[in-house]
Amino acid sequence: MSSKRNQHVVPHDGGWAVKGAGAERATAVYSTKLPAVNRARVIANNQGSELLIHGKNGQIQTKDSHGKDPFPPKG
């Protein structure tokens, strides 16, 4: 398993799941979105990876980087 797996918060069976990128199974499942986002943020921060939060329709709403981004950003 890669140590830098982006974390996704996605709709799951009427609740919300935290899933590592490419994973078939959820890391954790919650009835509401906020605890799922909080858990995914902790995991992404520990791994130095990206956090991608999806909406009910499955599309990405927000991204949050917990890696070592260059500052100032290029471009």
d(CA 20, CA 63): 14
pTM: 0.84
- Per-10-residue mean pLDDT, the chain, length 75: 80 96 96 97 94 96 79 64
Q: What angle do CA 71, 34, 38 make, to 5 degrees?
A: 45
